[in-house]
Copies of this chain bind each other. A is one copy, B any other.
C-alpha cells in the first residue's frame, strides 16, 4: 500500500528542516515584537474576507501586514491590499500548503520590527497545512457554517494543531440550518477546551470580540504552536 516507507522517510526530513526554520522564524518574530497569526481552512471558508476585515479594523490602531498563499493567482493579495496594509502573495504552484521557507522569503525585504501583527493566510486545505509549522504564534482554523458540523471529526489533525477556531459566515447559519451544538461538540471532541469565535465578515457580527482578543495578544506572551 502507498505511501511506501521511503516516501515517509523523505517526508520526515522535509518536515524536520521546516520545523527548524519555523522555530528560528518564531524567535526572530518574537525579538522584533511582532505577533504572528496564521489562518487555515478549506477553500472558500472565508479566510480572505475575515482577514480583510481584521486588517482594516486592527490596522486603525496597529501596524499590521499579511502574507497570503494560493496555488495560483494574486487575487487574494489584491483583495487584502484594499485594507491599506502591506500584503505579499505567495503562489505555490501545485503545493497544497505553505512552508516556513516561503514565509521567510516573502517577507525578506520587510523591516518586521516596524510591524505589530503579521497574518499568514495558508492555502485553502484542511489536510496539508497541518504538518507545517510556519513560525506563527497562534494558528486559527476557520470553519464556515455552510461546510457541515462534522468537519472537525473528519479532519481532526488540522483542528488539533490549531489554537483557536473561528466559525464564519454566521449570517447564513439559519439558511443552512447550522447545528451549533453539534459543531461545538465536534470541536470539543478533537480539541477539548478550544476557544471558538463566531463571526460574519459580511455583517460584522462577532468581529468586535475577535478583534479584542487578537489585540490582547500584542501585550501577552503568546506560546508556541
Minimum CB–CB distance for A89 against chain B, Å: 11
A156-B71 in contact (CB<8A): yes
Say whether A180 faces chain B, with CB atoms less than 8 Å apart. no
Say whether A221 faces chain B, with CB atoms less than 8 Å apart. no
Return the contact of A169 from the options B18, B94, B146 (Cβ within 8 A): B146
| Chain A, range 57-90, C-beta contacts under 8 Å to B | 70-73, 75
A155-B43 in contact (CB<8A): yes
B127-A126 in contact (CB<8A): no
Closest to A14 in B: B2
Considering only CB atoms and an 8 Å cut-off, how many residues of chain A contact the other chain? 47
**Bound: A94/B102 CA distance, A:** 23
Say whether A220 faces chain B, with CB atoms less than 8 Å apart. no
Return the contact of A44 from the options B101, B144, B172 (Cβ within 8 A): B144
Say whether A1 faces chain B, with CB atoms less than 8 Å apart. yes
Proximity bits, A116-159, B CB within 8 Å = 1, else 0: 00000001111110000000000000001011101101111100
